[in-house]
Structure 1
């Protein structure tokens, strides 16, 4: 085994036996050979991969995809049905809130208990105790039983213990989601420090941006099977495609059900009949989008894009104040993001939007026509210009220009573009028609001799000198 390997998973599978009733479990124990009284549920199936020391790996997938099962087997708290897991080094894991804590012990006592479980001596725990207590920052509650702790206090203490033992492998499974924003910031800073010091990270989260920015590679699971293993940005995009397809299917099923129910009651409820008609039109429109030319869908599957393609993003251009296409700006200059589109079916309730990310993968901002429409509607101005209220015929081509003063810090930026159908005016129900990653790029620079600003953006501060403050 190569010395730079941290985790090796080989043909790993986990099967659970599902019994219809408790008596079947007893019958299976009494007669294990003659008859099978259970159904097999494979939580994980034939999974193989290797992780090198110091790598940060994200794990994505919907609930029930096998993420937690995989982590438990890596930690050794769950035995595989087939296959094997090899780990090299000390493992620290945040799997379930409060796991490994004795609820009747105080926080102080649990620090020593957990430290001992993780392989530290009493002296080593004493040496690190102040750092653990400072990071947890739970004050006088440290000497109270942990059963009196809130979920936030519990995860503070658990994380503080795990990271202070300087693990070779750190596993985090959604636990940080219960912490407040400041604590999460401190956690991510500590995780980044551990990674830079050579710790291997396994990070499970539904927060796609955190996975993208915190990890180098990622694993996508679906119903216990590996869907994709590779660069985090590619895996996140595929995860979005998967979520979109699930949402589309759910929308079709809901629309069909609503249509059937309303049709049955049409004779006695005109309102239900109208709702059914609306739902039927939505279903037909979605089904129509699925019959678009196969070459169109194949084209976008090869690009970093996905969607129903009821509307298609034709291109995104970055323009300067004169309307000239450019890719370089200085802070303070006017910037325009122009998104060109085509309606492939009759459309209404449209939202054209974009995101801007820096080269580190951090989402700087997002904006869309619906944001503008919501604001205009709330202020009761410009109602006739609301794009959400407009209709577009099949085949119509149109464009939206977003204009602003560039206040971004010096960096390389990516523009992601999307067009959606919004079923209400408040982002409550969304159908992705077309999403495009890496739709455009631009850079921002600073004129060093004229104006300097640090960080990701310029807030445009002014100043006033007060010579005689009170």
Structure 2
């Protein structure tokens, strides 16, 4: 079982006003420093427990790649340190360490030895590596003729040929086809079930929420927030909205969950409820029951075009279903300041048993990236139970009509 402990970690680079300043500092060290420090990371502290999966997120330039290099030892820290226990496999930069003039097979031998495998072990594992990479005869072609997706296939296959105690994966998995991404994540999930500790860097919300137990948000070289993946991803999206001069509000609900509200504030959700077929508010719903999501929106300023959308998520934050009045061709035009608008969305609750939440978005188009008046996570929480249907597995109730013909 592997673990990672990061303590007071910091990385800074020296910046000199001129090249002569650098030379002067070398030749005349007693005259004092002539540089300034540019801090890339400062005061980073966290612990990844054995068997835990942690996602690392942040905008480009937040320091994620530098942090991974410090953790894996390819870059030395300015302050603090990293302690790791267990065998580590890291997939940082695409094809890092691959020589373009060597074949894929030759590069597998080199990369395998770099992560601690012997030649005999690599030879024994080669059939599995080839089978997982699925690049055929290209394994014996120079890497310079590979596409980026092929390089990723080989790099991931060799890095995960043996189950490591710690697996560190950067954005490399975002390269390549959807089929191999699914295949790779299935291997990661399998290793997780066997006890591998995972540190994953990705901008893919679904990947973070489906694989990780916890997420860490880096912002401007500092650890901004740590918590459940859904909460951190929502906070990350709201933080980006705040930088576009939109408000950011963080509330702790009675349930202990953290609600994120962001937007410019021209409109807001005044009331939201889930109603049964008789119009009564409910918090527990039977599978397949007819329900109505009722949302009352108040406009605080004149809005030329108003669209309301909602998204139903499971307990992990995975999207179950979402739509809006733009997609349904029912936007409202010229909404006056101070007016109230009540929306009713009627549908059968064809979800599997579990706890779900509803997020709402008041926008002007089909996306919250343009005129985001309000985005509200955890606007409503409800539970689905199965009281009348035969037992089934999954998050969706797609009850079939079955026909069997014996021939």
TM-score normalized by the length of structure 1: 0.78
Residues 1:465 and 1:234: Cα distance change in structure 2 (over 3 Å): closer
Post-superposition shift, 1:408? 2.2
Structure 1 residues 149-228: aligned runs within 5 Å: 149-228=146-225
For the residues of structure 1 that align with 2:167 and 2:272, how far apart are their CA atoms? 40
| RMSD across aligned positions (CA) | 2.6
Post-superposition shift, 1:32? 4.6
Post-superposition shift, 1:133? 1.4
Q: State whether structure 2 residue 406 is matched by structure 1 residue 406.
A: no
Consecutive unaligned residues in structure 2, runs of 5 or more: none
Residues 1:467 and 1:196: Cα distance change in structure 2 (over 3 Å): closer
Residues 1:404 and 1:184: Cα distance change in structure 2 (over 3 Å): same
Match of 1:379 in 2: none
Task: Answer yes or no: is the 8 Å Cα contact 1:5–1:50 preserved in 2.
Answer: no
Q: From the two aligned structures, give the one with the greater helix fraction.
A: 1
Post-superposition shift, 1:313? 1.5
Residues 1:365 and 1:19: Cα distance change in structure 2 (over 3 Å): farther
For the residues of structure 1 that align with 2:250 and 2:301, how far apart are their CA atoms? 18
Q: State whether structure 2 residue 386 is matched by structure 1 residue 430.
A: no
User: Deviation per CA, 1:385-422, whole angstroms, max 9, x where unpaired?
Assistant: x32x42222222222112223332333222122222x3
Match of 1:134 in 2: 131
Match of 1:358 in 2: 314
User: Deviation per CA, 1:356-410, whole angstroms, max 9, x where unpaired?
Assistant: 112243211221112212xxxxxxxxxxxx32x4222222222211222333233
Task: Answer yes or no: is the 8 Å Cα contact 2:2–2:166 preserved in 1.
Answer: no
SS at match of 1:431: coil
Residues 1:355 and 1:20: Cα distance change in structure 2 (over 3 Å): farther
Match of 1:101 among 98, 101, 126: 98
SS at match of 2:206: helix
Match of 1:343 in 2: 299
For the residues of structure 1 that align with 2:250 and 2:209, how far apart are their CA atoms? 25
Match of 2:336 in 1: 393
Post-superposition shift, 1:28? 4.3
Task: Answer yes or no: is the 8 Å Cα contact 2:6–2:44 preserved in 1.
Answer: yes
Q: From the two aligned structures, give the one with the greater strand fraction.
A: 2
SS at match of 1:236: helix
For the residues of structure 1 that align with 2:84 and 2:351, how far apart are their CA atoms? 43
Residues 1:6 and 1:451: Cα distance change in structure 2 (over 3 Å): closer
Residues 1:13 and 1:325: Cα distance change in structure 2 (over 3 Å): same
Task: Answer yes or no: is the 8 Å Cα contact 1:43–1:224 preserved in 2.
Answer: yes
User: Deviation per CA, 1:49-96, whole angstroms, max 9, x where unpaired?
Assistant: 222111111111111111111100000000001111111122111111
For the residues of structure 2 that align with 1:340 and 1:161, how far apart are their CA atoms? 54
User: Deviation per CA, 1:13-51, whole angstroms, max 9, x where unpaired?
Assistant: 100123456555445444455365544211001111222
TM-score normalized by the length of structure 2: 0.90
Post-superposition shift, 1:156? 1.0
Larger Rg: 1
Moved more, 435-444 or 96-105: 435-444
Post-superposition shift, 1:9? 1.2
Match of 1:305 in 2: 260
Match of 1:43 in 2: 40
Q: State whether structure 2 residue 12 is matched by structure 1 residue 57.
A: no
Residues 1:247 and 1:327: Cα distance change in structure 2 (over 3 Å): same
Task: Answer yes or no: is the 8 Å Cα contact 1:9–1:48 preserved in 2.
Answer: yes
